[in-house]
Chains A and B, each alone.
Chain A
Amino acid sequence: MNQSNSRRDFLKKTSAATLSTLGMGSPLAGLLSSCESRIPSTADSVILLFMAGGMAHTETFDPKKYTPFRKGMEAKEVLSTFPTIPTKLDDIFFSEGLENIASVMDKGTLIRSYQAADLGHILHTRHQYHFHTCYEPPQSVVVPHLGSWIAKEKGALNSVIPPFINIGQRFSVGEGEELKAFHSAGFLGSEFGPFLIPDPTAGLDAVRPPVGMDTKRFESRNKLYEELMAAGPMNDFGSDYQRESLKRSMEQAYILLNSPEAKAFDLSLEPKESYDKYNNGKFGLGCLLAKRLVDQGSRYITVTTEYEPFFGWDTHDNGHTRLKDMKKMIDGPVAQLIKDLDQSGKLDRTMVILASEFSRDMMTEGRPGLKVKDQVEVPDIIEDMKNYGMHRHFTDGCSILMFGGGIKRGHVFGKTADERPCKTIENPIKIDSIHQTIYHALGIPPELNYEIEQRPFYTTPDGHGKAEFGLLAKS
């Protein structure tokens, strides 16, 4: 076993060395890969930082007039509950508390005109389903997650790292079943489903020998399995795909669990200085884990501020107060992730996206002019701090940040109105366009589809998603 391991390593290293010498002209690489997909890829990996629960654009990346709290103020006069701060970009301001992200905005694009769908009743899990799959639930087939499409089409960059990893979401929370509905590879096959790491600090558990088993025993257990496999009478019992795929998958799992790359899951190996920069809770450490996994070749990673009804960004009350904490949670780690990727040169081929299923507003539920069921009582006159904040679900203007992997640097796309309703007034962009832009950067063509129950099923509904070239740097 050891011998063959070292031989494999040797071959891997020598071939890597040879190839890197040969592959010096990397523009050529882009050109050549375009022969295959017809779209030259500008990104190899994607990290989605998902602000689950509905992040108000007016309180984060698209602040409006600051209306400080005073007892007895009229609810409808409240536009933003924080003062603004400058960003690295001229004349572009963020809401207070996002100073670090403001300082890296020269490295990416700020979208201020994302319009989430109208699904009647504005509900987090349904809109999340829509955001992550591009399809409105329910559907008559199990729809693959964006990460599954990418895992299926692009495969693993490194065969021992799962291509689609989901960090930070437990399914034991309220609406957990609704969350499960879209964390699926659907008809693409479970092989392309998400590798779930609910708690980034326990990421290592997912890829190390089971509890109570040291490496030595783990290795001898595998040896025992191989010996029994070789000794058993059914070993050469016809050629059967199920038997073969079982054997192959077990080998693959063993290689992953034993590989040096699996150390990427172990946050304790991160130098303390760097660890501390991310260490402000589960989300921050999730960003760190994502960085480490992208370094080792994962394709698609979601890091989520965990969704749990009425927690996190899901502010049905105390919006202002709670947002201070939420910003603290994301500001440092997100900026650090961008800086680290930029410094290592990885940002060029790694697309980082920060988004939420929809935005929030004080007054409007859904979008202006389309009455949907209100879910929060908002008094006309605010007497109590707990009513001060964006407590309703707003779909007609949301902010998304995109960095790297071919995205323009230092660019702003779209605009919302400065007066209520603070809705999109320029360059509206919808989910199928967001998805197709990501696929485009990865070199996945818009007409990609699979036939399921004899019907073609596309990455975006009917294959109509168009990449938004206004977001992409000219390559």
Chain B
Amino acid sequence: MPLKMKSTLNSKRNFSFLGKVLITSFFVVIPFYSSFAQVFGQTIPDFWLWQFLGRLHPMIVHFPIALLIFAAVLELVTIRKYNSKFRPGIQLLVLIGAISAVIAAMFGWLLANSDGIQGELLDLHQKLGIATAVLSLLVLFFLQKVGKKPLPNQIKLFRTSLFIACLGVSVSGHFGASLTHGEEFLTEMLPWNEEFDAPESLTINLAEFTSDLSENQEMLLVTNVRSVLAHNCYKCHSGSKIEGELRLDEKEYVFKGGENGPVISPGNPSQSELIRRVSLSKNHKDVMPSKGKLLSKEEISLLTLWIEKGALWPDGVPQQSLYRVADLAPRKPSLPAPKAGLENPIDRWVDQYFKANEIDWNVRVDDRTFLRRIYLDVIGLLPSPEDLERFQEDPNPQKRQVIAQQLLDQKEDYTQHWMTFWNDILRNDYTGTGYITKGRFAITDWLYTSIRDNKAYDTFVKELLNPTEKSKGFIEGIRWRGTVNASQRIEMQAAQNVGQVILGLNLKCASCHDSFISDWKLEEAYAFANVFADSTLEISRCEIPTGKFARTEILWEELGNIDSAASKAEKLRQLADKLVQPSNGRMYRTIVNRVWKQMMGRGIIEPVDEMDNLPWSQDLLDWLAVDFVENGYDIKRLIYQITSSKIYQSESIPIASPDLLLASDFKFQGLIRRRMTAEQFSDAVSNLASPLFDSTEVRFRPYELIPELGNQAEFARASLVANNPFLTSLGRPNREIVSTSRDSQASLLQALELTNGTKLNSALEKGGARWVLNYSDPNELTLKLFAQALLRAPTTEELAVANRLYAGKTEATKTQDLLWSIFLLPEFQMIY
């Protein structure tokens, strides 16, 4: 007995020394550690050692879990007698358990950073893990406090802390496991969780398919199997792309298998390679799909069931659509009843949507925010302080509608702003590839006039499709010298561009082979391209001529036929007439959705070129499209309608990540905060500092087209100048292909252009001099500058900052720097 005591004491002394070192080092490390995180942010995880240590986390975590829990179990076993024969063992377990808990926490942090894992679950796991590490050190601390003659309180403290630490490792371990294996890894095996909802892609209830199958059931089953294969496998295993010599898009190929033999053994799922591969875990080298998301449990059950039942595939399985296809026809849902303050039809739909989704209305913005927003959205310019004052003082309760109409009536301002939008969409630019060899035609004159005259949209489209010399540039595409891909011949460019821009559909895939993203077939794409052809096109499949000649068709037979024997001019005339008919609901949904996105920051459907996607409100979209048709295809009216809605006039919504905007489960809450476009920003700088672009850069002068205008511009609007590195860095696209949404995220290259680029710098230099010439009093200058740039007075702090800058005397260089600082504020650059 005495001997035993001695050894216990010895081990305790050692351990208490170790424990102290450990505790001290831990508290030294923690602050260092967090400053690491702050300072290095992203650079640290790039280093291999960090990544390596991080990857050790899943291994190390098992030590604290096993050791601490085992220690606690022994503690329970010996609960009656503290100084049992297990005591030294328990102490060792606690010591190593605590050390490994700390190491596991550190490695875990490295893993989280280097592998870019994010999310609530991680946060929870991380916080709990760190807390547990700290707690386990406390356990150590309490343990060493337990003296030679243990006091009951000391023992209690130690044991309690040990049990809590055990709970900690268990719970954080559980969350860690959920991160690795998925949140349902454990719970899905519980008997009461056996039932599941059928996923979206499955339209049948597998439970009904237990006994012998009826003919109808066989059909249903294989149709659903095909849908699963299409959504998950076609990208690599279909006519367009055949990896591993395996095709899964047609019966014959599915049963033939791939380079390693058959993938299906009818009646025998466990012998079927297909089932084996899709059931593997994410990291297995054989797992399928090898890229992208794995099949859901339900999808695997479906495939398994189908094979179990003999993999029946009756002939004549109908060619059922495997993708969501939006209705072509227009639809006019009946408007919800108006309520006080919700007279605008848009608001009635939004209100209904908000109710259904339990979303609250945001408050109405003040006059200043509204005015700044509507100026930028309708004419692309900032209002002046005088504009604001006039507006604020106007007692007319309808003044917001009045100003909307006034801005829409400022023809040149309106046109020059919307030129940017249409130039991007219609791939029209003043310079660019193709012009050098006359392989491309600008449509600027036609476009400017059309926007200015607010040409009815059906006429606008007709003139693009059945063009005059002035508007032919859109369907003529860009003719590159030399041979080009069959899928890029100009007839096919026309089909793709008309499809994308006018009809909101993607024919790019189908212009080379049968699409694997939609139901469009190669022959249909060629049939549509043939409308734009002088002589009948021969179909090429993946660049290889097939010897087949294309039909001549509009994509939907509901829209009517095109005379395949007619001349190109006649075919285009027929196409134009047929596409713009009101029964082509799709075309009008596409345009109202685009305008909605321009005004509200996010389409009712996204991406705006994929109109088969689900809208967040089918009713609103359908109603807007029909209303647009019924009221003269009037784009200005549509803009007016949107700006006069309560939702447009409500506070804007910030977005934490651009992915959220494109998420399929996006919930509409209101107008999305945006950044100014390259053109809006440039125009603001040109106006407030000094013109950014000189006359040599201007490529389009409205007064040359409309002489009565005269040259009255104070500065060249950015939408009318040749593209340049400054505008490119701020997101103006090279308009070689249609561009319907811009890359709006800031980047280093852009920041460098803004920080030391000569274009901005020289405009600001002149601007600084100009301001100083006009205002000699620093205070006055600051007030005026804030009023003009931000439409508000500076705060006390801001004024103090400016006063410190000037120290009593205005100077051109200082003003230049002040202009720069203000222009780069998010408040200046955002449309909010």
CB of B25 closer than 8 Å to a CB of A: no
Give the contacts of A309-336 with B (CB-CB under 8 A). Answer: none
Give the contacts of A168-222 with B (CB-CB under 8 A). Answer: 174-175, 177-178, 180-181, 184, 189-191, 193, 195-196, 205-213, 217, 220-221
CB of A252 closer than 8 Å to a CB of B: yes
Select one of B42, B765, B800, B826 contacting A212, CB under 8 A.
B765
Query: Closest Cβ of chain B: how far from A139's Cβ, in Å?
Result: 7
Which of B44-52, B162-170, B442-450 touches A?
B44-52
CB of B827 closer than 8 Å to a CB of A: yes
Query: Closest Cβ of chain B: how far from A459's Cβ, in Å?
Result: 14
Contact with A along B465-489 (1 / 0, CB 8 A): 0000000000000101111110110
| Neighbouring A residues of B813 by C-beta, 8 Å | 217
CB nearest neighbor in B for A4: B39
| Contact indicator A249/B751 (Cβ below 8 Å) | yes
CB nearest neighbor in A for B827: A234
CB of B830 closer than 8 Å to a CB of A: yes
Query: Closest Cβ of chain B: how far from A39's Cβ, in Å?
Result: 14
Select one of B480, B655, B801 contacting A231, CB under 8 A.
B801
| Neighbouring B residues of A233 by C-beta, 8 Å | 795, 827
Which of A271-279, A356-364, A397-405, A446-454 touches B?
A446-454
| Contact indicator A121/B482 (Cβ below 8 Å) | yes
| Contact indicator B483/A120 (Cβ below 8 Å) | yes
| Contact indicator B482/A241 (Cβ below 8 Å) | no
| Contact indicator B482/A256 (Cβ below 8 Å) | no
| Contact indicator A142/B734 (Cβ below 8 Å) | yes
Select one of A138, A141, A162, A456 contacting B749, CB under 8 A.
A162
CB of B171 closer than 8 Å to a CB of A: no
| Neighbouring A residues of B737 by C-beta, 8 Å | 138-142
| Contact indicator A246/B821 (Cβ below 8 Å) | no
Contact with A along B294-327 (1 / 0, CB 8 A): 0000000000000000000000000000000000
CB of B202 closer than 8 Å to a CB of A: no
Which of B526-534, B557-565, B754-762 touches A?
B754-762
Give the contacts of B7-22 with A (CB-CB under 8 A). Answer: none
Q: Indicate whether A138 sits within 8 Å of B42 (C-beta atoms), given known contacts A241-B745, A250-B755.
A: no
| Neighbouring A residues of B436 by C-beta, 8 Å | 174-175, 177-178
Question: Cα distance A437–B70 when bound, in Å?
Answer: 53
| Contact indicator B291/A35 (Cβ below 8 Å) | no
Q: Indicate whether A190 sits within 8 Å of B482 (C-beta atoms), given known contacts A237-B654, A242-B674.
A: no
| Neighbouring A residues of B609 by C-beta, 8 Å | 453
Query: Closest Cβ of chain A: how far from B616's Cβ, in Å?
Result: 19
Question: Cα distance A122–B481 when bound, in Å?
Answer: 9
Query: Closest Cβ of chain A: how far from B724's Cβ, in Å?
Result: 10
| Contact indicator B749/A454 (Cβ below 8 Å) | no
Question: Cα distance A447–B46 when bound, in Å?
Answer: 22
| Contact indicator B506/A453 (Cβ below 8 Å) | yes
CB of A13 closer than 8 Å to a CB of B: no
| Neighbouring A residues of B654 by C-beta, 8 Å | 237-240, 243
| Contact indicator B826/A247 (Cβ below 8 Å) | yes
CB of B673 closer than 8 Å to a CB of A: yes
| Contact indicator A138/B818 (Cβ below 8 Å) | no
Select one of A121, A178, A245 contacting B433, CB under 8 A.
A178
CB nearest neighbor in A for B821: A225
Q: Indicate whether A36 sits within 8 Å of B801 (C-beta atoms), given known contacts A119-B483, A177-B435, A221-B817.
A: no
CB of A227 closer than 8 Å to a CB of B: yes
Question: Cα distance A308–B658 when bound, in Å?
Answer: 40
| Neighbouring B residues of A246 by C-beta, 8 Å | 675, 746, 824, 826, 829
User: How many residues of A are counted as interface, with CB atoms below 8 angstroms from the partner's CB atoms?
Assistant: 90
| Contact indicator B734/A181 (Cβ below 8 Å) | yes
| Neighbouring B residues of A231 by C-beta, 8 Å | 795, 797-798, 800-801
Question: Cα distance A248–B488 when bound, in Å?
Answer: 40
| Contact indicator B736/A243 (Cβ below 8 Å) | no
CB of B260 closer than 8 Å to a CB of A: no
Select one of A177, A205, A253 contacting B432, CB under 8 A.
A177
Q: Indicate whether A32 sits within 8 Å of B745 (C-beta atoms), given known contacts A210-B755, A447-B291.
A: no
Q: Indicate whether A122 sits within 8 Å of B482 (C-beta atoms), given known contacts A11-B36, A228-B801.
A: yes
CB nearest neighbor in B for A224: B821
Query: Closest Cβ of chain B: how far from A365's Cβ, in Å?
Result: 12
| Neighbouring B residues of A232 by C-beta, 8 Å | 795, 798, 825, 827
Question: Cα distance A177–B478 when bound, in Å?
Answer: 13
Q: Max chain A CB contacts within 10 Å: which of B725, B745, B747? A: B747
- 18 extra interface residue pairs, beta carbon distance < 8 Å, beyond A140-B508, A249-B748, A447-B291: A19-B49, A22-B49, A119-B483, A120-B483, A123-B482, A140-B488, A177-B433, A180-B433, A190-B731, A190-B743, A211-B758, A211-B762, A212-B761, A233-B827, A234-B825, A234-B826, A237-B654, A240-B830
B interface residues (Cβ-Cβ under 8 A, vs A): 35-36, 39-40, 42-44, 46-49, 51-52, 55, 235, 241, 290-291, 431-433, 435-436, 478, 480-485, 487-488, 493, 496, 506, 508-509, 511, 516-517, 607, 609-610, 653-658, 673-675, 725, 728-729, 731, 733-734, 736-737, 743-752, 754-758, 761-762, 765, 795, 797-798, 800-801, 805, 813, 817-818, 820-822, 824-827, 829-830, 832
A interface residues (Cβ-Cβ under 8 A, vs B): 7-8, 11-12, 15, 19, 22-23, 29, 32-33, 35-36, 118-123, 126, 136-142, 155, 159, 162, 174-175, 177-178, 180-181, 184, 189-191, 193, 195-196, 205-213, 217, 220-221, 224-225, 227-234, 237-243, 245-250, 252-254, 256-257, 447, 449, 453-456, 462
Can you list 28 A-B contacts with CB-CB less than 8 angstroms, sorted by A residue number? A11-B36, A23-B47, A29-B48, A32-B49, A32-B52, A123-B481, A138-B480, A140-B496, A142-B734, A159-B43, A190-B743, A190-B749, A193-B747, A211-B758, A212-B761, A221-B820, A224-B801, A225-B825, A231-B800, A232-B798, A233-B795, A242-B655, A242-B675, A242-B830, A243-B673, A243-B826, A247-B826, A449-B291
